[in-house]
Structure 1
């Protein structure tokens, strides 16, 4: 099911634009201060910098929705979203629906994720997109203003020792996208760590900074104030020096009013019980050459190809699985990956990525071949791969982190 925002009539857009221009001057100052996203009266240099950053991130909105987890979701007019702060992306305001990859006849359903912000039937108006509001306290939890919304420390491939992975990967081919079904958990995360389960679409060319597009779910208290798993995206075109999560910097163009990047996912899988999963797909549209995102059956939006260098053409590596970031404090972190249990425990007990597929040059989804597995510290976080007719290619992965064999 494609976003209804593709089919807005011109008069509706005109009315919404006019209303936003009238409303924006009210929202930009007083409302933000009343709702804790600005810090009135504090003249310190840091406060001024934080307030200036909030003004760039938080856009005028037509409607706001209070989620049960405390988030505020702003319904922002499509043309006012952060991506269009970049003049070179403003030509992307005229949208043409992408061409979905062709799937085989027995592909099955694409399970949807459910989010807390719209669990009671709330929605954003047509012509707008939902954006999780950033508050001053969110930036305070970050190491610095410049690091807010970015992955810490990971400079390039190979990655730093602060990032540990348990993944399945395919390499040494031209890839035009990837798809997987990931079950969602609520791992315990300590300190400034994060834990995630995701897909990576990577262009790694020797002697050049890596380009990546990433999507999945993540528990990241330093970014989001709590330990709830949240839908996220990430992109970088220069080895993680720039780029960001979700919509906290210009780049990703969202077209969908029904799914909010950065918002909490609920329900989550239970150890030994019900499993909840979502279908995630990134692919390069043959018509526009942009990289598009679909979650479940919802087409969310795209990364314009001109954001990238090597990913303007194709990817060279696809990865599926888990990652933990931990500050190097001497003892190995006890932050969990996935369910917090090792891969050998299997179904209903370990995290998985199943129906692992890639998109080929002809825009067809095909099962991965020659799937390898990588775990830097298998006694801390492990991974194993397999195949069956129901799941296709799959991996189980995860672990507890610190334990007697992981020091």
Structure 2
């Protein structure tokens, strides 16, 4: 289901999913049941990192789920900590947007889709010129295996046919579809919003659109967008903790919870979001759109040796972290937790 753009070597790819492995959900992150003791020197390191990540706020909003949303100047957002973005000039709009003509697999389901909002919206909004940024807390950092690992995602977690075994081995499982073997300049996915059960604290369940390049097999480059449920544990490199994604839209707080959620076997309670990622030929960045018109931000092309030109694969699907042994899976679910024909 690929529509050609330009010449035969360029493609724009669209997929729509309403089944089994697709969900989008971000949960409140707490570790109230953890008993963590850290040394004085480590505490100082954590405090320094928090100061670096949490920028001065013009306004702070307490979400009903206990998250704190800081309204930070758009010129002072965390991605500008990246050495390649020190003198970056923000681009507020792309020069090019793909038309919103995604193919619908089910008119019945799509006609009953409801709007999805973030929970913090109930408590206020950010003033003009600022961005809503979920405040990083000490317990978020302490959940990482190390200070160096905080905010990073291992390559073995990347669910792409670019990686050995598709990234689905070694405690991870995935269900996805992909297209590769050409030059691609964008992809789009409509994904149902579920609340999957996550059994173990170190596990997670997610859904996303992946855009990647294996032009250099030694340095695979991937960007992804979607949502995750992780049993109140923060994992991987996500949101503005990945110094590189430049946000321009003031109504979306990356990493904050969304609502409402789809209910299994209830056609009147199906909710979805649409994520579009595309290459803007004008300034070279990879832009991300939420829904039909909410342009959230972009990844500057200067960050990518390979993706600065085009992608070699676009993938859509779901992934779970699995702590089971001997080939067994725990009860952690993907999407609705049911097979496609029963969703």
The normalised TM-score by structure 2 is 0.77
**Does structure 1 retain, via aligned residues, the 8 Å contact 2:210–2:224?**
yes
Residue of structure 2 in register with 1:102 after alignment: 99
Secondary structure of the 1:247 match is helix
Match of 1:213 in 2: 223
Q: Pick the aligned partner of 2:279 from 263, 279, 284.
A: 284
> Does residue 266 of the first structure (1) align with residue 262 of the second (2)?
no
8 Å Cα contact 1:112-1:279 kept in structure 2: no
Q: CA deviation at 1:326?
A: 2.4
Q: Which of 114, 124, 127 is matched with 2:126 structurally?
A: 124
Could you tell me which of 160, 172, 182 is aligned with 2:181? 172
Q: 2:270 aligns with which of 271, 275, 280?
A: 275
Question: Is contact 2:262-2:270 (8 Å) kept?
Answer: yes
3-state secondary structure, aligned to 1:62: strand
| Deviating more after overlay: 48-57 vs 102-111 | 102-111
Tell me, in whole angstroms, the C-alpha distance in 1 between the residues paired with 2:312 and 2:279.
13
Which residue number corresponds to residue 209 of structure 2?
199
* TM-superposed deviation, 1:222: 5.0
1:140: which partner in 2?
142
Provide the rounded CA distance (Å) in 2 between the counterparts of 1:222 and 1:52: 24
Alignment check: 8 A CA contact 2:115 2:271 kept: no
Residues 309/327 of structure 1: CA separation in 2 closer, same or farther (3 Å cut): farther
Against the structure 1 CA distance between its residues 106 and 207, is the aligned structure 2 distance closer, same or farther, given a 3 Å change threshold?
closer
Aligned to 2:309: 313
Q: Tell me if the contact between 1:171 and 1:316 (Cα under 8 Å) persists in the aligned partners.
A: yes
Secondary structure in 2 aligned to 1:154?
A: helix
Secondary structure at the counterpart of residue 278 of structure 1: strand
Match of 1:338 in 2: 335
State the SS of the aligned residue for 1:312.
coil
Q: Name the SS for the 2:241 alignment partner.
A: coil
Taking the aligned partners of 1:332 and 1:106, their CA distance within structure 2 comes to 34
Q: CA deviation at 1:328?
A: 5.5
Which of the residues 113, 116, 132 maps onto 2:116?
113
Distance 1:104 1:188, change over 3 A: closer
Picking from 72, 76, 79, the partner of 2:75 is 79
Give yes or no for contact 2:213–2:307 (8 Å, CA) kept in 1: yes
Aligned to 2:172: 163
Secondary structure in structure 1 of the residue aligned to 2:49:
helix
Count of paired positions:
289
Q: Which runs of 5+ in 2 are unaligned?
A: 1-37, 105-109
Q: Quick one: structure 1 residues 195 and 48, their matched pair in 2 at CA, closer, same or farther if it must change by over 3 Å? A: same
Q: What is the RMSD computed on CA atoms of the aligned residues?
A: 2.6
Question: What TM-score results when the alignment is normalised by the length of structure 1?
Answer: 0.66
Q: Secondary structure at the match of 1:250?
A: coil
Alignment correspondent of 1:255? 248
| Residue pair 2:201, 2:233 contacting (<8 A) in 1 also | no
* 2:60 aligned partner: 64
**Rg larger for:** 1
Any conservation in 2 of the 1:112–1:295 contact (CA below 8 Å)?
no
Tell me which of 129, 150, 153 is aligned to 2:152: 150
* Residue of structure 2 in register with 1:37 after alignment: none
User: SS where residue 75 of structure 2 aligns?
Assistant: helix
Contact 1:79 1:93 in 2 (8 A): no
- Bigger Cα displacement from structure 2, 49-58 vs 215-224: 215-224
